[in-house]
Amino acid sequence: MNSEIILNDKETSFVLNGFINDILTSKINFRNTAIIGIKNGGVPLAGLIKKAVSENLKIECEIGYVDMTLYRDDPFAVKKSSNATELPFDINNKEIILVDDVISSGRTVRASIDQIFDFGRPGKIKLAVFIDKGGRELPICPDFTGKKIKTGKKEIIRVDVLNKEKFVEKIIKK
């Protein structure tokens, strides 16, 4: 496999700051909001969004995580789960910000929403994804997007926003 950095640390920081700012300046009622990260890539981003809401708006949002592995509908998905879903709050009537690092087909988001509804009925779900690589197979569209990067089906986007060296990398499978 070959890989290539497509956003370096400065570019990733710039896109990340704009992404979080778009969320903070939206019409979301953060006093009735929970942030849910999709494991694994959405977890660090959900934490950064929660921190930004706390620091900038002085509001403490609840945070949780979903592991949607068992909810996947594709035949090639690995059906092992670490049973790592953590939603330690009542989601009924909450405004949810569902966070992931990369969206492509939309199947991960659909599976995550299915799992969330097993815990209750949120008032609204907003989708925030850092990278939109296109290739949708389902009618799912993010409300907040950091950057659109078109790739082929055999290309994987890896996002690392917690390292000192923030970056977005494209991995090309042979």
CATH number at residue 52: 3.40.50.2020
Q: Is residue 131 part of a domain?
A: yes
The number of folded domains in the chain is 1
- pLDDT on residue 72: 63
Confidence class for position 74, pLDDT limits 50, 70, 90: low
- pLDDT on residue 173: 61
Q: Which H or E run contains 54?
A: helix 42-57
- pLDDT on residue 161: 82
**CA distances (Å), 102 to each of 38, 41, 68, 71, 125, in order?**
10, 8, 15, 18, 17
Q: Is residue 42 part of a domain?
A: yes
β-strands 155-160, 124-132: how paired?
A: unpaired
pLDDT in tens, 101-144: 999 999 999 999 999 999 999 999 999 999 999 999 999 999 99
* Domain extent at residue 47: 28-148
Percent of the chain with pLDDT over 90: 68
